[in-house]
Amino acid sequence: MTMLHCPATVLLARHGEAAYEATTWSGEGGSLTRAGRGQAAALADRLHGARVAHVYCSTLARAVQTAEIAAAKLGVDVSTRVGLEEFSTGSFAGVERDTDPFAETFGRWLDGDLDVRVDGGETGAEVVARAGRVLDDIADAHPGETILVVSHGGILTLAVHNLLMFESGVRPRQFANCAYAETELRGDGWRLTGWSDPD
């Protein structure tokens, strides 16, 4: 019950700009571009006074690289969590990246129809549930501390819209690379308390 008096502050950040070797959709992780590495370093600079105690990230390379760059500048450790990956490409693995086969499904998720499934992949409800489990575990492990979580635009957007209540005057925006949402797990649930976009 300590958490109720000393809530964890969890900063949900999207990874930096990445390049992909494959020209088709797949589960591979991509690698940060030079710009992406700069974004990760700038993220750490923006958080320098936040007293971040630990960094967690998805196991995909673009998130791991972002987390490691930020953590090195912040002087803290990094841990990966399987449940923080982007939603599955399902049967669209191998489809050329010049099309977005997920747009219709993702739009329906944002409209609240979370039972829709990516063909051969996850439903929106399943994505939100796994994000919620990991974030709850992280918050429970770090009462009273500030934690950085580096993940992906799709899963973070769904988490913000479906797990969080919004503080007065605070509204979610699009997750640009290395933008982050400021959240707290309080006694009445998750709260969105602020938003920071890259400069």
DSSP string, 17-84: PEE-S-SB--S---EE-HHHHHHHHHHHHHTTTS-EEEEEE-SSHHHHHHHHHHHHHHT--EEE-GGG
Rounded to an integer, what distance in angstroms lies between the CA atom of residue 163 and that of residue 83? 15
H or E stretch at 129: helix 124-141
Q: What is the pLDDT along the chain (199 residues), one digit of tens a residue?
A: 344 568 899 999 999 999 887 766 676 778 999 999 999 999 999 999 999 999 999 999 999 999 999 999 999 999 999 999 999 887 767 777 777 878 899 999 999 999 999 888 899 999 999 999 999 999 999 999 999 999 999 999 999 999 998 877 777 788 999 999 999 988 888 999 999 999 7
Q: Assign domain 2-196 to its CATH architecture.
A: 3-Layer(aba) Sandwich (3.40)
| Helices first, then strands: H and E counts in the chain | 6, 9
Determine the 3-state secondary structure of 130 from DSSP: helix
Asked whether the whole model's pTM tops 0.75, one would answer: yes
pLDDT at 131 (0 to 100)? 96
Ranges of each domain in the chain:
2-196
Share of the chain above pLDDT 90, in %: 71
Which residue, among 176, 165, 184, has the nearest Cα to 66 in the 3D structure?
Answer: 176
Contacts of 1 (CB under 8 A, 6+ apart): none
Specify whether the CB–CB gap between 175 and 156 falls below 8 A. yes
